[in-house]
Every structure is written in C-alpha cells, then in structure tokens.
Structure 1
Amino acid sequence: MSHAFLLVSTGAGAGLTTVSLGMVRALDRLGIRAGFCKPVAQLHDSDHGPERSTQLFEHMTNIKAPQPISLRRATSLLGSGREGLLMEEVIALFQQCARHTDVVIVEGLVADAHAGYATRLNTAIARALDAEVILVGKPEPDLEEYIDIAANAFSGANGTALIATILNKVGAPSDGQPTLQADVLQTSSGNSDGLDISDAMCQKMTGKPFHVVGCIPWQSQLIAPRMCDIAAYLDAKILHAGYLQQRRVQRMELCARTLANTLSVYQPHTLLVFPGDREDVFVAACMAAMNGVRLAGILLTGGLRPSFGVMNLCEQAIQTGIPVLLVESSSFQTAAKLSHMPAEVAVDDFDLIDQAVDHVANHLDANWLKARCATERKPRLSPAAFRYQLIQKACQASRRIVLPEGEEPRTIMAAYQCQQRHIAQCVLLGDPEKIHQIASSQGIKLNEEIIIIDPVTVRQRYIEPMVALRQHKGLTSEIAEDQLQSRVVLGTMMLALDEVDGLVSGALHTTANTVRPAFQLIGTSESAKLVSSIFFMCLPDQVVVYGDCAINPDPNAEELADIAIQSADSAKRFGLEPRVAMLSYSTGESGAGLDVEKVRQATQMVRQRRPDLLVDGPLQYDAAAIISVGKSKAPASQVAGKANVFVFPDLNTGNTTYKAVQRSAHVVSVGPMLQGLRKPVNDLSRGASVEDIVYTIALTAIQGGEGQVSG
C-alpha cells in the first residue's frame, strides 16, 4: 500500500483543502507520484455540486479521483455502530487512489460546529490506512494545546502518530475583520499584530517533537473575489457583463462624497459602490476606464440606473470590459452585506485556486517531504516539476533577455513577473512613456531593474556593426538603417553584439519575422548543421519533447539525424534522460519506401555519431509511447514504449501532431525553442499567454546561461 499522509485541521478556516492540494503539487515537483483521497465528503454551505476537494484535484492534475463517501452515509454507519464497514469503504477508496502513486495525500474532516465527530473519524481513518498525520492550523492562542491533544488522539500501538505540523495564514488579519472593507486597500500581506502572533507561534512549534513542514504567509490577493462572485452573492442584476469572470475585487469604495473628493478612488481592482443617480461618479469611472484603469467594476444601488443619454455617452468606456451591476438595496446596506461576504474561494475559480496551491507548495519543506516519502524510484519529470526546475535554473543563470515587442501588454506583464520572480533581467524595446502607461493600466509599476530602451535613440549606432556582419551580402548603410526600423532586427543586433544574452519575440510577429534576422545576423553554431526547434509537451503524467515542429519542412536523413541529436541534448539540458524515437508510419523492418528508409538511415547516423544516446527507429508513435504496444511491435527495443523525445520525419507530420495533441488533449506546450543557433532566439505563438511568455523567457535565459548554444 502506498505511503499515506493524512492532513487534519485544527478547525474551520485553516485552509485544509488548499494545503492538502499544495502538498500534492510540492510532491509532484519533486517527481514523486502523489495521489489524493477525500474519504468522506464535507460540503461547504455554498456548494451545490460535487465535493469540492476532489473536483479541484481533478482540475489540477487531470487525474480522475474516486468520489468520496457521502457524509450522510458515514454518519449513518457511525451511528449504527458499523465503523468497521465504514473503514473498509475508506480503504477501498484509498486503494483506487494508490494504484499508480508513491504517496497519497488524504484530506481529513474539519472539526467545526457541524462535525463534532470529525476527530473520531480522522483517528479511525489514520489507523485504518496506517497513515502519518500532519496537522494544519492557523495562528491562534490555543493552537499549542490542540496539537498536544491531537498527538495523543493519533498515537497508538499500531504506530500511527502526529509527525508534523503546517502553520497556514501566517500574518492574517483577525477573524473579526471583514474580507472587503470600504476604503481599505486589500493588497497588504497582513498586519503587524498578526505577524507578531504568528512569529511567536512558529517559534513555539519549533520546540515541539513534530517537524514544522511550513509556515505559509497570508496573502489577501488569494481570496480576492471575482465580480461574478459579487454578483452571485448579492443576487445583483447584470447591466453589462464585461469581464465579469476575470475582474477581481481587492478594494471596495463607497462613493458618497462629491466628485472632487472621490478622484483618488479610481484605482485598479476597485469596486465602486454608489447610487445609480450619481451620474457624475458614473462618468468619472468611465473616464478612468478609458484611461486604462482596470476597475474591478461598478455596483449601482437603490435600484437606480443612469439615464439613457449618460449610458449612451459612456458606451465606449463600458465596452472596455468594466462590469456594471445593479441592486435594489441602499449603498450602506450593500456595503454592509459585502463586508460579511465569506472569504472562501468559489469552487469554480480555478485560476485563483491554482495560485493558492502554488503559494502553499512554495512554502513547504521539500527536502523533508522527499526524505519522509523515502522513495527509491528515480523521480520522473512531471509538468509541475519541469516548470519548477525551469524557473529555478533561469534564476541561477541570471541572464539579460531582450523583448523587441516592448509595448505589447502581455510582454510587459511577463517582464514584470520575470523581474518579481528573478527569472531574468528583461530589456523592453519601445517608447518608455507608452510602456509605463500600459504597465500602469495593468496595475503594475516597472522599476529600474527592467530596462527600457527607445529604439529611436539607439538605432544609429547599430548601422555600422550590421553592415560589417552582412557586407559580404552587399548590405549598405541605407539598407541597414531601413532594416533596423524593425525592433526584432534591432534586438537581434543587440544579441549579436553580446549586449544581451537572448531574444524572445513572436507575440505580434510571425515565426519568419522572428527567425530570419537570427539566421542572418547570429548564424548556426559550429557543431550544428542546421537550426531546428522543439516543443516541451506537458502531458498529464510527464513532459516529453517533440522535434522538429516549426522550422524544417522536409529534412533529409543527415538533417534528421542532426535534429535528433539536438533534441536529445536539449532534453537532457532540461532534466530529461533522453530516449529518442525516430518516428515513421511503420515500425522496425515492417515497412519500406523512401520515407521509411530516410528515418532508418537517420537512426543509424545518430547511433554512429552519438553512441551514448538511446535511440531507435523507425517507430510508429504508439509503439514509441505505449509500453504494451512497444513490447508487441519492438520487444527488443530499449526505447519502444518508453520514449520521451519524439523526432518527426517532416514538418507536416510534426506540426500537425503537436497541434492535435495540444488542442485535443488540452496539453500545455512550451516552445518552440530554437536549437542550433550560436545564441538563443525563441519564438512565441501570437496567441501566447503571459505565462507562456514567462516560461519562454526562462528557457531562453537557461540557454543563454550555457554560453554557446550547441546542436
């Protein structure tokens, strides 16, 4: 039976579900296969669908989890003296979760006013599963006494015991403080009194015989409700939806003063509450929206709405996405009700839940968890582990990356996040005033660590070096000056002159526009015969490499061998032990024809040039990826069924396959990462998200940190 950790809480509000899922993610980052089990459902007052912990785990991992036992059945069995039968059902659920995992995180019941039997059930579950117990609590005066009581409750002759504690919500405001307060900005990490109490509690915990796995700081942004949550809570009428699902409320402003005295309240993430006949405030809010301020929304009270003329005047501002709601209650009544809005995150707010789970995982003692799990298997590279390692390696590389599309909003936000997380020093090319204005409209401020260069002020000094690089092609000063109007070309020249360590572009430009200047001004490395690309495909259970899916239309056998070697080396560079499958429409000797022969020859070339690599081909995709098929079609192969580097025979096959897998299976793909250039240049999809850009910058920083990028 898999190793089991049972997480139980000191009471309501400790954040047991978030911490449990955060531990799953922390273990996943370590390459440990972690499952999740919620033995007995415990629905929240606002829940009307499936049990939320299980639902969130399935969303987070794409792994189907067994549905927990209903609370009604559990209490019925307990009440009739059939606890043994209940535990048998618990073990059956656990076994379903443990089939393909090394560790299972079991979420216990919360001992609140509605579940006085929770401690009894949690103790029985711990003993039935022979689980190690970790107590989750928040800083409160009687936490120390509760831990002592819990230690006795979970100890016994069978060896089950409380082994560790996790202190959550360190520095949180007092329970009596409203989540949304009028006229108080909700972006601080906590208050000084809460931090003092938490620090004292952390010191007390270190003196206990239980390991403190983590002290997780409070962040109010992680409970910021969406405007759709506000609308649902107030049962408000939606006059204009806008970005109802995306806008978050971190601050509430009750606009009862004159317009002149409310100018300071028009800030990002602010919910404005005022009567619908205050048309002056409504127009001011719309003007702020037109100036790029991302207000959370407008909440009109008293059942009143602005006149048709005012609404028509403000139509363009409203179309920027600002949600507009209407309630019948007065402004004071509405604000009072909002101040009592529950702090729990909506069950369908996956973005915020993902952030909270990552926040927990970042503050857990990973080394202790790994040692406690005591797994002997070699860690796999899960998507979470890959992304985590990517960021860590980029931070260590500490490189400077130029972003030619410096005025593009996603790029600006990505640069800001990279600076906040110390991933790389970003250089934005563009008009400094415009860049700062766009940053401000997104609620961020760029500091001096993000370099902003106006192309107009520096373009002339790159003309002569560019002519020197391309004079053998007949490049003149006039042509060079004209080509340098492109910020991608300008950024590539900065890279060619070693002023930066890498370049990322493509959010606004085609692949050709990004790659062509690199071919002309950077060139291929000495060890590479061509430039190719790979995607890191984050499948639900592991990360694999696809190459080449973006550059070479129809490589010959020698070029295909070069692509395979480049892809294997790139995979190893990013934490994979490469097992290379040379793909074709047939496996082994079963097929014939020019296309198959090309793959067969390329496989032999790879073996001759790099005998250290595990490579096999031709292999069909299923024979390369599925163990059972691989054993059937290529039983003697060391790669079949275990491949993690897939080399496609041509661009048509590679690009089609990568897009089909990405879209149909909802797989995150990181890339394309170009390989074979002397210096790193990487392309983006024009539909790239901010997160995509951040990870591509991290990839580029790692490449740039290795000096010359070899093939």
Structure 2
Amino acid sequence: MTRSVYVTGIGRGDGRQVVELGVMELLTRRIDRVGVFRPLAHDAPDPLLDLLRSRYRLVQPPGSMVGLRYDEAAVLQAEKGTDELISQLVDCFHGVAKDYEAVLVLGTDYADTGLPAELALNARIANELGAAVLPVVAGLDQSADSVVADVRNAHHAFTSLGCEVIAMVANRVRDSHAAEAARALGHHLPEPVYVLPEEPALAAPTVQQVVDELGAEVLLGDPAGLARDCRNFVFGGAMLPTFLPALTEGCLVMTPGDRADLIIGSLAAHSAGAPPIAGVLLTLDQRPGDETMALAARLAPGTPVLAVPSGSFPTAAELFALEGKLNATNPRKAEIALGLFESHIDSKQLTERLAVVQSDRVTPMMFEHELIERSRSVRRNVVLPEGTEERVLRAAEVLLRRNICNLTLLGEDAAVRKRAADLGVNLNLLGPDEIAEGPGATARVVDPATSPLRERFAELYAKLRAHKGATYELAYDVVADVSYFGTLMVQEGLADGMVSGAVHSTAATIRPAFEIIKTKPEASIVSSVFFMCLSDKVLVYGDCAVNPDPNAEQLADIAIQSAATAAHFGVEPRIAMLSYSTGTSGTGADVDKVRQATELVRQHRPDLLVDGPIQYDAAVEPSVAATKLPGSPVAGQATVLVFPDLNTGNNTYKAVQRSAGAVAVGPVMQGLRKPVNDLSRGALVQDIVNTVAITAIQAQERGV
C-alpha cells in the first residue's frame, strides 16, 4: 500500500514549505518513486511544485499534482456538499498513488481560499486519503506560552478529528524560551515536537524578487547580483558622512535617483567590503547621469542598481511586505531550508515515523543522500584551495548549511570575503583567531602567502624533496602555491582532506599529493574511480582519470583498490576486468595483459569475485552473459568495471554519462595515505558538494 504524509498548518505564515521540502528529502532518501499531490491549489503558478519537480527530477505529469482549484472546490462544495468535494479529491489522489511508493500531500494554505472550516477540511481529506498528518504551527513573534498553546491545540484538533499525527512542528520560532518550551511539550505529547527557529536568510527576499514584485527596471547588475538576499532596507536621505555608518551587510539601499553621492558612496563601500550591500534601488523615476552610471559599473561590477517610478514611502510599504520564497529559480534558498530542517529535526526518528520501506533500487539521488548522511556523521575539515572560485564558494555554502563538514578556504582573506559578498553567498567566515560557537559546520580563510604556516611548510617540503635538490628558498616559493599549501595542511593533520581542480588541472592537484602524501603501504599505484549512478543502480568505473596505460600488476592493483572503494561506499564488489574479448575468445598483448591482471587479483585477493577478460555487455547484461560466459559469478551482474587503459575508461565514462543520463561522481582518488580528490574543470556545484562529502567519508575511514 502506498504510504502518504499530509503536511498541513492551522493558519497562514507558518513557513511550512521548509517542512514540505524536508519531508520530500527524507522520502527520496528511502525510496525511488515519490509522488506529490496538492488537493487544492490557486489558479496561479505554484513555486513549491516547480521546485520539487526540478530538485527531485520528478517525472510525474504536472497536471496530476493538483486536484482542484480553490474556486472550483468552493463552487462544488456549495452546490453538492463536502462529501462530493472529498470524493473527487480522493479520486484524483488515487490516480497518483497507484504509480508511486509514497506520496507527499500538501495541505491548504489558508490564503483567500473561500473554504469554511479549513482545518477540519484538511483533517477530513487526510483521513480519506489514509495519510499520516504532520501539522506545522507558526511561532513567529509568539511568546513561550503562545507557542505551547498553539502546538497543544493543533495536536488536539487533528487527533480529535481522527487523524494519525506522526509529529508536530513549531516553525519560525524566534524566542529561545519559546523554543525550549515547545521542546519540553514533546515530553507530554505521544508524538515528538520539533522546533525550527526563524531563519533570516529564508525570510529575506532576493533582489530579483524585488524586481519582480515592484516591476523595477534593472539599470545595472548580473544574475549573481540579482540572486543576493536583501537582509535589510536602508533609506538614504542624509548627507553621505551620516549615511555611510547606517549601511549594514546585505542591505538594499533605497534613495531618490538624483542622489549621486549616496549611490556612489554605497557602491564604493560595497567595493571596499565595508559592508557588502545587496544593491541600490532608485525611486521617483530619477536616473543618474551617464558619468555616474559608468562610475557605478566600474566600482561594483555585477551589483544591482534598480529604478522604480514611485516615491520612497509607497515603495517602502511594498518592500516591507516582501518575504523570501522557495522556488526552482533559487536553489540556494532550498539548500538553506534543508540545512535548517536537518539541523533541528531528528531525521532518523521522523523517517521511522513516516513508516516507509527502503527501496531495493539505488537511484542517483539516494546515493547522493547517503553520501551526505555519512559525511556529517563525524565532522571532518576539508581544505578547498580555490577559495575565490564561484562554484567552490556556492558549494561551500551548501556544505556549511547542510552541516556536512568544516572548511578551510585558501586565498587572500579580503578577496575571498568580497567574492562571496558579490555572489550573495553567506559563509559566516571565522576570523583568524576566532573560536567557533555552536554545533554547526564552520569555515575560515587561510592565505598561504601570509600564513605563519608558510615557514614551517617550507622547511618540511625542503626536507621531503632534498633528494631532488630542493632548498628552503625554493620550498618557500613552492608552498605559497595553494595546491601545495593545501596538501601540506592535510599531511600535517591541519585538514583531513583536500578537494581541488575546479580551475586547476589534474596534474596541479595531484602532483603535490604524489610528492608529499605518497601512496599507502599496501598500494603500488595511485588510481581513481567514478561512481556511475544509473537510474536503478550504482556502478564503479576505474581507472578513468589518472593512469594512461597500466601494466598487468598495476591493473590488478587498480582492481583491488576499486573493490575496496566500492565496498566502503555500499556497493558490493563484483569485478569485471574489461577487454575487447570475453573469456578465451581473443588473443593479443592487450587481452593477455587483462588476463594476467585477473589472475593476479585472484592470487592476492581470493575472497573477491572477479572475472576477465570480459566485454562490457557481457559484464552488465545477464542475457549476454548467459551466452558469452555462462556460470560466471560476475558476468551480467558486475558492479566494479576496470578498464584496460585511460583512453578506454575516460571515453566510456563520458559516453555513459552523456548518452545514458548517468550521474558521474568523481574522480575519487584511491591509494594515497590521506584523501586528496580532483574535480573536473566543468564540475557543477553539486559535483563539488558530492566530492567533498566523499573526501570527508574517506577521512573518517582513515581515522584522521
């Protein structure tokens, strides 16, 4: 039977989209096919449904996600009664449920719905759908007594109407006393009570939202600038010396368009990083002159300058009514929401209460979820040498929001902070001597050029490379390079792992590791694997990134290492040693190399399942295996595929990635004493997040 959960509220302003997104995240970690159903919806675009479709790659037809529009429901209820309304909604739901293992049901929003007794209607719908209920109560600006009363009343209301309540959520709670009171209430209710604090970054509208809501004209600004959060509004009227101290980080400056002094002063302050602003909004339909706009563009490239025809007062009234929204166009907000959800809700407990059964299939998203969960179980510190690269900074924000690991960003402190501010990325970077407070993941910046560690690292590198003629003077220059500096941090235990390669070449990333960290005693070679996440399983490809033409001994070592990596990440290793022939059907130097490597694997690790030489189709397709290599314990069900050379492996992984729509996670380096991983220079933000998570897990394995 399909399991469904009904997320609902008791009024407006509860911010339950955070909970709906979080529950969807929990469901997709466990099962492959999750549907979404909103029984009643407004006749307007639905940003949350768009976000769920985009983020979770839903193939569910959009039309099936909605039952009826509110106006249709109101007419139907008035003419034929509530029973007929419920009957039609149930029919729509079952049209969805038959195709999915679980369904997330989104309750009504209490916003001009035209429906009487809305809470009771939500309860009735949930009961008729057979859905467990997760009520969300708004705690914004509420006292401790009010929050407790609202949670208790909501619980009583839904249980008295026959609902299966699995937990209660108090959301947007600002006061620490109110949060503690709500948590304490959980000891007196049969279900757990979770408390989510108000998150300013979620409540803050983006500059793009200001543009959309006010119909503002964009005079200057790029997409990154328009994605910045407006954390505050500062209204300019005073003279510049009085005005500048009023600026706050992330504020949107509103000033009449003829105040060139305030416009240039604000942008100059942003350029200096004191403080970085979200942008400038000009009122009264005034435009600065061409010279002023040209100077503004040079002072703060990408920073938005907007214009509206209305005056300051009506514009301010509209601004203060704006709140941040979760939608598909701003994935950063979704990561913030998930970070909030995961930090304050016991995911394991709630997953158990959702009572969904783990799928046998392993989808790309389920594999990525597992990486995130494992990486945060024991928090490690990963160094990112490319501290001013946009994708790295955006990935860093996700890593910190999701509490995946602590980070060290390499680069000049002022440059890293300014680049983050320009991108609207909030990392809450610690100062050089600042001690982290609280349980969350943290980040700090280290500048290799000025760090006190530079002299220590130079001495160490000169000693390690003395046999190559390295002197202290040479080493002092070498260790200022971010790749070498980051590698030395890992070697010296000042970081647990390193990830680089978004802008550096593979050689620049791994050469320092070869020189400094070196291979593990049991490994004869450093190699790599990709986790190839297909629609229903995960395969491990090795080596597709490092070794051009390994000999038989090296190929055997790659196979053994790849099997260990696969097992460590939950993939049962069945090794296929790939060639252009299967079994004894072919001869030649290339086939003989693979045949010899296969025998070496059997000699060194008789416990491993391995077969070869074998062609790719015989390795993964049971029907082909039955003909070409019958009786093999590997053929047709291989999970670790070892390619004979880099040319074959690299082309194959890219062909499968692009043609089959597989998600390629890696390359993951193996054979080093401590974890250093390389990125593709075309890596996306999520690729960087996954690679850092893998690096943190590798560090956990080594106990560093």
TM normalised by structure 1 equals 0.81
Q: Using the alignment, how far apart are the partners of 1:378 and 1:134 within structure 2?
A: 23
Shift, 1:660, TM fit: 4.7
Conserved 8 A contact 1:566-1:676: yes
Number of the residue aligned with 1:107: 106
Alpha-carbon spacing, 1:331–1:579, altered in 2? closer, same or farther (3 Å):
farther
Number of the residue aligned with 2:96: 93
Number of the residue aligned with 2:166: 164
Shift, 1:451, TM fit: 7.0
Shift, 1:145, TM fit: 2.9
One of 41, 46, 65 as aligned partner of 1:68: 65
Number of the residue aligned with 1:181: none
Number of the residue aligned with 1:183: none
Aligned length, in residue pairs: 671
Conserved 8 A contact 1:276-1:305: yes
Number of the residue aligned with 1:55: 50
One of 217, 225, 239 as aligned partner of 2:219: 239
Shift, 1:207, TM fit: 1.9
Q: Using the alignment, how far apart are the partners of 2:75 and 2:340 within structure 1?
A: 38
User: Is 1:35–2:34 an aligned residue pair?
Assistant: yes
Number of the residue aligned with 2:116: 116
Conserved 8 A contact 1:27-1:366: no
User: Is 1:152–2:160 an aligned residue pair?
Assistant: yes
Conserved 8 A contact 1:138-1:168: yes
Q: Using the alignment, how far apart are the partners of 1:378 and 1:584 within structure 2?
A: 33
Q: Secondary structure at the match of 1:207?
A: coil
Shift, 1:461, TM fit: 4.7
Shift, 1:317, TM fit: 2.3
Shift, 1:299, TM fit: 0.8
Q: Secondary structure at the match of 1:104?
A: strand
Alpha-carbon spacing, 1:21–1:637, altered in 2? closer, same or farther (3 Å):
farther
One of 292, 298, 301 as aligned partner of 2:283: 301
Alpha-carbon spacing, 1:635–1:60, altered in 2? closer, same or farther (3 Å):
farther
User: Is 1:446–2:441 an aligned residue pair?
Assistant: no
Number of the residue aligned with 1:177: none
Shift, 1:560, TM fit: 2.4
Alpha-carbon spacing, 1:397–1:629, altered in 2? closer, same or farther (3 Å):
same
Q: Secondary structure at the match of 1:163?
A: coil
The range that moved more, 665-674 or 649-658, is 665-674
Conserved 8 A contact 1:564-1:580: yes
Number of the residue aligned with 1:179: none
- Correspondence 1:148-227 to 2 at 5 A: 148-153=156-161, 155=162, 161-171=163-173, 190=174, 192=175, 195-209=176-190, 211-212=191-192, 214-227=194-207
Q: Using the alignment, how far apart are the partners of 2:496 and 2:132 within structure 1?
A: 48
Shift, 1:106, TM fit: 2.7
The range that moved more, 226-235 or 292-301, is 292-301
- Unmatched runs of 5 consecutive residues or more in structure 2: 140-146, 436-443
One of 250, 256, 269 as aligned partner of 1:275: 256
Q: Using the alignment, how far apart are the partners of 2:193 and 2:97 within structure 1?
A: 24
| Fraction of identical pairs, as percent | 39
Conserved 8 A contact 1:534-1:546: yes
| RMSD value, Cα | 3.9
User: What is the one-letter code of the residue matched to 2:298?
Assistant: Q
Q: Using the alignment, how far apart are the partners of 1:417 and 1:17 within structure 2?
A: 18
Shift, 1:304, TM fit: 0.4
Q: Using the alignment, how far apart are the partners of 1:75 and 1:607 within structure 2?
A: 71
Number of the residue aligned with 1:565: 560
User: What is the one-letter code of the residue matched to 1:163?
Assistant: V
One of 267, 271, 275 as aligned partner of 1:290: 271
Alpha-carbon spacing, 1:71–1:307, altered in 2? closer, same or farther (3 Å):
same
Q: Using the alignment, how far apart are the partners of 1:65 and 1:570 within structure 2?
A: 35
Q: Using the alignment, how far apart are the partners of 1:17 and 1:440 within structure 2?
A: 27
User: Is 1:574–2:569 an aligned residue pair?
Assistant: yes
Conserved 8 A contact 1:583-1:619: yes
Q: Using the alignment, how far apart are the partners of 1:328 and 1:590 within structure 2?
A: 79
Alpha-carbon spacing, 1:53–1:588, altered in 2? closer, same or farther (3 Å):
farther
- Correspondence 1:414-453 to 2 at 5 A: 444-447=428-431, 448=433, 450=444, 452=446
- Correspondence 1:451-530 to 2 at 5 A: 452=446, 454-455=448-449, 458-462=453-457, 465-475=460-470, 480=475, 483-484=478-479, 486-493=481-488, 495-496=490-491, 501-530=496-525
User: What is the one-letter code of the residue matched to 2:108?
Assistant: L
Alpha-carbon spacing, 1:459–1:84, altered in 2? closer, same or farther (3 Å):
closer
Number of the residue aligned with 2:345: 364
Alpha-carbon spacing, 1:499–1:445, altered in 2? closer, same or farther (3 Å):
closer
Number of the residue aligned with 1:158: none
Number of the residue aligned with 2:438: none
Number of the residue aligned with 2:25: 25
Alpha-carbon spacing, 1:17–1:538, altered in 2? closer, same or farther (3 Å):
farther
Q: Using the alignment, how far apart are the partners of 2:335 and 2:387 within structure 1?
A: 28
- Unmatched runs of 5 consecutive residues or more in structure 1: 156-160, 172-189
Shift, 1:122, TM fit: 4.2
Conserved 8 A contact 1:43-1:52: no
Q: Secondary structure at the match of 2:135?
A: strand
Alpha-carbon spacing, 1:381–1:312, altered in 2? closer, same or farther (3 Å):
same
